[in-house]
Structure 1
Amino acid sequence: MKISAAVWRALKEPFSIEEVDLEKQRENEVLVKIVAVGVCHTDVAVRDGEIPMPAPAILGHEGAGIVISAPTDSEFEAGDHVVMSFAYCGRCNACLSGRPSSCVLFFPQNFQGHRQDGSCCHSQNGNRIHGNFFGQSSFANYAVAEARHLVKVPNDLPLEKLGPLGCGIQTGAGAVFNWMKPEMGSSFAVFGLGAVGMSALMAAKLFGCDPIIAVDVQPERLKLARELGATHTINAKVDDPVTTIRSLTLGFGADRVVEAIGQPQLVNQCVEAARSRGQVALLGAPRSGENIVFNSTNLLRGLNIKAVVEGDAVPRVFIPELLLLYRKGLFPFDKLLTFYDLVEINEAVSAMSTGKAIKPVLRMSTQ
């Protein structure tokens, strides 16, 4: 079938809206009409060569849409509303033990640009277009995905808002809910107030953390962080975050620290800002092959440092839990969203890169 998609053709080049062919879904795949898709820093990292993937390709991995057709033996049927999340094999020890984000095939499943058998479901004039990005390639008005990568969501919720739950929001909130699990009154600090960091902050509020300290360089984001639950904010252009965090925690450092940008120097600041035997969650994605060097003294403080991928979440369990909190007004992730049309994808990417938008969401046409 003919679809409209944002195609990435070369490193650091803008996306172009093109008509491409989408191969008929296979027996284990679901055809989804995309309603909206979030734009994530990972999409931009691939575009700019920070994470390797072949081009030309269709990216996009925070899709939300409506099922058009599904395998008869799946739990989905036409008309179901779904959020699309990351891909995993479903067969390795990690997947079978409820830890799909630690799938041994996570990178090939999500970044190799084709199905596991080497086939591509997208083409143009007979030429291969790489896809299967995060098992979905949802920068398009239609996508196919294996059923296990989809999460059914209630039809009465605003579907255009839900796509970012499949990656960025799940990543930030899940790091707190599924790994940190802070006790009430724990001190909490988050570095970087994009969608991931803001979601972690909102989760920390739900756990009763105090103080909740938010670090960024964008005044508007710091203002929103206060509205979402931060008790203190630090503009890192003005004040030293480590010194300030320690002064706010009786000199000890924060019990829980989240790094949500992926810069090596920031990782070291997070480690320095943590209390002895504290937790540091690394959620940002550094450039491929980039090294992070720790001061060896910090390794003697008993810190628990972990790279938390996709919030350590089982999407079919965790996303419905976040939606229950959203319905109750306790997790207002929609305050992070700014909407654009698919044809405005490059404007949306620019707005995210400059800090104008926290989480851009691309809406498809009604076609």
Structure 2
Amino acid sequence: MKVTAAVARAPDADFTIEELEIDEPREDEILVRVVGVGLCHTDLVFKATSTIAPPAVFGHEGSGIVEKTGSAVSKVAPGDRVAITFRSCGECARCNQGLPAYCYTMPMLNYAGMRPDGTKALHGAGEDVASHFFGQSSFATHCITYERNVVKAPEGFPLELAGPLGCGIQTGAGGIMNSLACQKGSSVLILGGGAVGLSAVMGAVVQGCETIIVLEPHRGRRELARELGATHTLDPAEAKDLAAAVRAILPVGIDYAFDTTGIPDLLQAVMGCLAPHGTFGIVGIAPPGTPVPGDLMSLVTFGHTVKGIIEGDSDPDTFIPKLIELHNQGKLPFDRLVKTYPLSEINSAIADQHEGKCVKVVLLTGQQ
């Protein structure tokens, strides 16, 4: 069948809106009619670096309605409303421990741009198009995905909001709630006030953190961070000495830090902000070759922990429903981050997000 997709054809070129062919689902696959899809920084990093060779369709925060299922699929049926998240095997030791983000086959299933057998689900005029990004490639009106990717969205929950739960929201909130497991009454420093950072703010509120500091250059995002529960905000243009700025608030230092920026100088500066036995969690994408922040003997002396985090250490089957419930209770108002655009306006949406005119873009296909 034919689908409309936003196709990346060169790292420095705009996405092009094209008509492609999509495969019928295989026995273990699910065809989803995409309603909305979040725009994530990871999509743009993969495009800019050609980590997956173009032409490629990205998108890994899809949501929509199941249209067809393969014969081996039992988790969902046609007509089900679903959020689509990352893919995992469900069989390795990490998956069995409830840590699917550290699945032994995570890179192959999510970052290869093809099925494990080398085939692709999307096809253009005389060419195959890289697909299966995070097991979905949902910058399109339809996508092929898998049982481990999908989580049912309850009736009454806005389906277009469900997609970002699959990556950005669960990464930010999960990083605080699962990975760092911030204790009630503790302090946390969050670097970056984008969708992941502001989700971390909301997660910190849920955890009962007493001091929540956000470092963010855009004034509007600093103001939103305050509205969502941050107790302090810092402008990096003014807080040039980050450790001094943080210790002016908490002289003993911060219990937890959470980076969404991947900026090497900031990563290093955070180490001077940590209290004894403090923990630094990192989800930001840093340039290749960036060293692990800190000095070894300082880590030993003060008992610091530096922790890499993928997808907020979440098990989507349990954590996404928890996030939806928190939202329904008014405790995770992530809809306040969202601005919607038609899929056809993806390039304008990227520009607006880069300029700080919006926090979280959700692209709509016009389908229900």
Q: Which bracket does the TM-score occupy, shorter chain normalised?
A: over 0.9
> In structure 2, do the counterparts of structure 1 residues 293 and 188 end up closer, same or farther at CA, with 3 Å as the change threshold?
closer
Residue pair 1:88, 1:100 contacting (<8 A) in 2 also: yes
Q: Which amino acid aligns with 2:223?
A: K
Q: Does structure 1 residue 310 correspond to structure 2 residue 311?
A: yes
Q: What is residue 359 of structure 1 aligned with on the other side?
A: 360
Aligned to 2:132: 132
CA distance in 2, matches of 1:176, 1:366: 34
Task: Tell me if structure 2 keeps the 8 A contact 1:80–1:155.
Answer: no
Structure 1 residues 35-65: Cα deviation after superposition (integer angstroms, max 9, x where no partner): 000000001101110x721111000000000
- Cα displacement (A) at 1:171: 0.3
**Paired position in structure 1 for 2:171:** 171
**2:224 maps to which residue?**
224
Distance across 2 between alignment mates of 1:79 and 1:93: 33
Equivalent in the alignment of 2:113: 113
Amino acid at match of 2:150: L
1:38 counterpart letter in structure 2: G
Q: Which runs of 4+ in 1 moved over 4 A?
A: none
- Equivalent pair of 1:52/1:288 in contact (CA under 8 Å): no
TM-score calculated relative to the size of structure 2: 0.96
Q: Distance in 2 between matches of 1:297 and 1:357?
A: 42
1:244 aligned partner: 245
SS in 1 for 2:272: helix
Query: Which residue matches 1:55?
Result: 54
**Structure 1: where are the runs of 5+ without partners?**
none
Q: CA deviation at 1:32?
A: 0.3
Q: Which moved more, 1:17-26 or 1:65-74?
A: 65-74
- In the TM superposition, 1:145-160 aligns within 5 A as 145-160=145-160
Q: Which structure 2 residues correspond to residues 1-367 of structure 1 after superposition, within 5 A?
A: 1-49=1-49, 52-72=51-71, 73-239=73-239, 240-249=241-250, 251-300=251-300, 301-366=302-367
Post-superposition shift, 1:280? 0.7
Offset of residue 163 of structure 1: 0.7
Report SS of the residue matched to 2:255: strand
Contact map agreement 2:4 2:141 (CA 8 A) in 1: yes
User: How far, CA to CA, are the matches of 2:76 and 2:252 in structure 1?
Assistant: 51
- RMSD across aligned C-alpha pairs, in angstroms? 1.4
Contact 1:13 1:47 in 2 (8 A): no
Assess if the C-alpha contact under 8 Å between 2:271 and 2:293 holds in 1: no
Residues 260-304 of structure 1: per-residue CA shift (max 9 Å, x gap): 111111211222211111111101112344434533453232111
What is the CA–CA distance in structure 2 between the aligned matches of 1:67 and 1:270, rounded to whole Å? 44
Report if the CA contact (8 A) 1:69-1:77 is conserved: yes
Q: What is the distance in 2 between the residues matched to 1:91 and 1:143?
A: 24
Q: Secondary structure of 2:277's match?
A: strand
SS in 2 for 1:4: strand
8 A Cα contact 1:338 1:359, kept in partner: yes
Determine the C-alpha separation between the residues in 1 that align with 2:261 and 2:363.
22
**Mean alpha-carbon deviation: is it higher for 175-184 or for 140-149?**
175-184
Question: Is the 8 Å Cα contact of residues 256 and 278 (structure 1) preserved in structure 2?
Answer: yes
Q: Which amino acid aligns with 1:246?
A: R
Q: CA deviation at 1:12?
A: 1.8
Partners of 2:293 and 2:178 lie apart in 1 by 27
Report how many aligned residue pairs link the two structures: 365
Deviations 1:102-146 (A, max 9, x none): 112211211111001110011112311011000000000000101
1:188 is matched by which residue type in structure 2?
V
What residue identity is the alignment partner of 2:58? L
Distance 1:35 1:121, change over 3 A: same
Q: Is the 8 A contact 2:89 2:148 kept in 1?
A: no
- Distance in 2 between the 1:191 and 1:153 partners? 30
- SS across alignment from 1:311: helix
Moved more, 132-141 or 172-181: 172-181
Take 2:253 and 2:40, find their aligned partners in 1: how far apart are those partners? 30
Identical residues among aligned pairs (%): 39
TM-score (norm. length: structure 1) = 0.96
In the TM superposition, residue 356 of structure 1 has moved relative to its aligned partner by 1.6
CA distance in 1, matches of 2:348, 2:292: 32
Q: Residue 315 of structure 1: CA displacement?
A: 0.4
